Amino acid sequence: MRDGARIGVVSPAYWPVPERLARAKGVFEDLGFELVMGRNIGLRQDKYAGPPEARAEDLMAMFADPDIDAILCARGGYGINRVLPLLDYELIAANPKILVGFSDITGLLTTVSQRCGFVTFHGPMLTTFGTETVDYNIETLLQVLSGGDEVVIHSPDACRARCLNPGVAEGLLWGGNLSLLIERLGTRGQVRAEGAIVFIEDIDEKLHAFDRMLLQLRASGCLDGVRGLVFGELLEMHDGGDVSFGKTTDEIIMDVFGDLDVPIISHFPCGHGGCQATLPVSHTVELHADPDDPRLRIPRSPVS
């Protein structure tokens, strides 16, 4: 993404808080980018940023506009599942652009990559910068979108990744928010991980629900043939009720996937934490589950 690029901003799920939107807009403008707000971004309909038709209209307008270089989602929340059936995937495929978001935007990223055949990006949204600017988030975003090869994504001191099962693997990168990956099971947008590296993140789930979703994901067959697993910070995971579940998130992960004999890392900075790496969905990466330096390497630029 070059200096001076025009970035279209859409809110296909929950509505953004105006004050946070304004601050974040200033962060990108100070970096030399021009931000173009979607026509309907100020709409509110209960928890949604307007009706699904209006949210889909903004997305399609950004893809159709030849002067828009990238599309950045304002925030997640809930509601992208009602937008997906309204999109014109032939038009999107004919106008490939950088598309960035996470959380509820998981369904949009994976569906566009699957149906339109280009890389999307799981990374910080506009309101990530609504209250503070974390240098790691900006630097990693620009590094991954710069067009350069040989990008290595390390975890910062504020969010040190952990190696659960060492090894090295290469494959297409798929994944996102666990709840949304579960929501796509049995649909045209289900992720299939054969030969792939899969990353998973979530927030504010009960530990038994986390265990249940991982078991469901594995039982569904969508992880058959997976080559490696990357888990995010998994913030605010907690017991439900008075009786402890008895396992940490790392222990649950290894209980469900430890027999796969694939590289596994956890607490990687992708998702809802303060540090948010930008990851190229449907692009080839290398997972280095190194006990001393768990990391992802992107051999070739995902935007070249």
Active site members = 103, 201, 272
Q: Apex CA 32: angle with CA 31 and CA 38, to 5°? A: 100
**Order of all β-strands in the sheet with 6-10:** 34-37, 6-10, 70-73, 98-101, 120-122, 279-281
Distance CA 110, CA 184 (A): 10
Give the integer Cα–Cα distance in Å for 245 and 208: 7
Rounded distance between C-alpha atoms, residue 101 and residue 6, angstroms: 17
What is the rounded distance in angstroms from the CA atom of residue 264 to the CA atom of residue 261? Answer: 9
Classify the phi-psi angles of 98: left when phi > 0, otherwise alpha if psi is within -120 to 50, otherwise beta.
Answer: beta
Q: Where are any strands of DSSP class E within 33-165?
A: 34-37, 70-73, 98-101, 120-122, 151-153, 162-165
Among residues 38, 27, 35, which one has the least CA distance to residue 6?
A: 35
- Token pair 């969508």: residue: 222
How many helices (H) and strands (E) the chain has is answered by: 9, 14
Rounded to an integer, what is the distance from CA 223 to the centroid of its chain?
Answer: 18
